[in-house]
Amino acid sequence: MTFAALTGWGKCLPPAILSNEDLSTFLDTNDEWIVQRTGMKERRVSHVPGLMLSTVAAKRALACAGVKAEELDLILYGSCSFDEHVPNTASGLQVAIGAKNAAAMDVNTACTSFLYGMSTATAFIKSGAAKKVLVIGVEHISKFMDWQNRNVSVLFGDGAAAAVFEASDQEEGVIAERLHCFADARQSLRVRGKGASYANVGILYGDTRWDFDGQEIFKKAVTGMGEGSVEVLKKAGVTIDDVGVIVPHQANLRIIEAVVKRAGATMDKVHLTVAKYGNMSAATAPVALVEALEEGKVKPGSLVLIPAFGAGLTMSAHLIRWGGRTTPKEVSDAELPPCERSALDMVRELMALKEPHARSEAALMGARFVEAG
């Protein structure tokens, strides 16, 4: 039987840090509220496009696996803030790393995009359709943020991570998974301003308004991630005590605590990044996984539980059996170009660019999108 081993991992965080204090210089918010309600202290703002973040992450993951880019059969590029839609961004990454023999596909399930990509990579490898697959989770969400809206703008950050999956005859990689979508609640997170519904109606591209029902998402996240975790443990015939480390999606510390309780675990089993990176959507879980590896929290042969959720509302839960290696084969020297500006300056610039277009508000709220049913 063929399995899909996770053999390479790499992350890329843009260096500019936006603190809670920075946010309180232009929003009616404060450090105490953000820390108490979310567990977040700071997040990153990227000075380069998402493709550049993912290129660095991909080169680091390939070096870690000891795999050459030409050996890749498939690239899965998980994001909801693509640099452009046509051509797809996966093809841009193919060029950037020289993966000339690969197929290239974008995946968008919002915050769970990397994890849906991981399931797709595993299925391609298990079916024999591919032997080596690169999966990306990346967001440049600061570009699409409605910065004046404190309900959402304190929650998100930019980042990227990548993983290499290879065919193996050892039982490793994803051993149980649950993918689902609470589509009835899809209205609870909608970014107005992105997509064809908003084209040619007088809206500046990138000027967004977020429909966001945080409490509804909170409830669905706890239910979905909690039940998904229990289900994958059952499918694999193991208990939570057999899990070495839990690497959840990190949208809110309180969500993580509730999910971990439902799964029957304690917080000492969880790798947390929420305080320093916030919610990087598709990049969140893979960045946390890479950090857990770097900090020695993933042991050879151990089980890693990854519950996640995102807009849609999509959910996922994966149980990974780790292989024998938890350190990189090689280390890449890929780096981002230096960043000359502060995160706050970049955010102020984004807000200033949108200011003259405030009149697009009516168009944004009035634009029609078609709902099925």
Ligand X SMILES: CC(C)(COP(=O)(O)OP(=O)(O)OC[C@H]1O[C@@H](n2cnc3c(N)ncnc32)[C@H](O)[C@@H]1OP(=O)(O)O)[C@@H](O)C(=O)NCCC(=O)NCCS
Question: Catalytic residue numbers?
Answer: 111, 249, 279
Q: Which stretch binds ligand X (CB under 6 A): 6-14, 30-38, 160-168, 203-211?
A: 30-38
Q: In this structure, what DSSP letter does residue 110 have?
A: G
Among 2, 19, 29, 101, binds ligand X (CB under 6 A): 29
25 contributes a contact to ligand X by CB under 6 A? no
111 contributes a contact to ligand X by CB under 6 A? yes
Distances in Å between the Cα of 227 and the Cα atoms of 4, 130, 224 are 25, 31, 5
Cβ 22 to ligand X shortest distance, Å: 13
Among 218, 230, 262, 357, binds ligand X (CB under 6 A): 218
Q: In this structure, what DSSP letter does residue 28 have?
A: S
Report the alpha-carbon distance of residue 160 to residue 285 in Å, rounded: 10
Q: With CB under 6 A as the rule, give the number of residues binding ligand X.
A: 20
Burial (CB count within 10 angstroms: exposed 0-12, middle 13-18, buried 19+), residue 296: exposed
Q: Which stretch binds ligand X (CB under 6 A): 150-158, 238-246, 265-273, 363-371?
A: 150-158
285 contributes a contact to ligand X by CB under 6 A? no
Pick between residue 214 and residue 264 the one whose CB is nearest to ligand X.
214
Measured in whole angstroms, the distance separating CA 4 from the mean position of its chain's CA atoms is: 20
Q: Which stretch binds ligand X (CB under 6 A): 32-40, 74-82, 84-92, 222-230?
A: 32-40
Q: Which stretch binds ligand X (CB under 6 A): 28-36, 90-98, 172-180, 226-234?
A: 28-36
Cβ 25 to ligand X shortest distance, Å: 13
φ and ψ at 241, to 5 degrees? -65, -20
154 contributes a contact to ligand X by CB under 6 A? yes
Sequence-ordered list of residues with C-beta below 8 angstroms from that of 282, at least 6 positions apart, any chain: 78, 79, 80, 110, 111, 112, 113, 114, 137, 138, 139, 310
Pick between residue 35 and residue 334 the one whose CB is nearest to ligand X.
35
Give the CA angle between residues 53, 14, 81 to the nearest 5°: 55
- DSSP-H helix ranges across 73-213: 89-97, 113-127, 150-153
Among 41, 126, 131, 150, binds ligand X (CB under 6 A): 150
Closest CA to 62 of 142, 133, 145, 153: 133
Report the alpha-carbon distance of residue 150 to residue 332 in Å, rounded: 38
Cβ 151 to ligand X shortest distance, Å: 5
Cβ 233 to ligand X shortest distance, Å: 23
One symbol per residue from 265 to 284: x for binding ligand X (CB under 6 A), - otherwise; what is it? --------------x-----
Sequential DSSP letters for 295-342: TT-S-TT-EEEEEEEEGGGEEEEEEEE--S--S-SS-----PPP--S-
68 contributes a contact to ligand X by CB under 6 A? no
One symbol per residue from 166 to 195: x for binding ligand X (CB under 6 A), - otherwise; what is it? -----------------------x------
Q: Which stretch binds ligand X (CB under 6 A): 43-51, 209-217, 261-269, 288-296?
A: 209-217
Give the CA angle between residues 336, 48, 20 to the nearest 5°: 100
251 contributes a contact to ligand X by CB under 6 A? yes
Cβ 275 to ligand X shortest distance, Å: 14
217 contributes a contact to ligand X by CB under 6 A? yes
147 contributes a contact to ligand X by CB under 6 A? no
Handedness of CA 233, 235, 238, 244 (dihedral sign): negative
Q: For residue 101, which amino acid is it?
A: N
Return residues touching ligand X (CB under 6 A). Answer: 29, 33-34, 37-38, 111, 150-151, 154-155, 189, 214-215, 217-218, 251-252, 279, 309-310
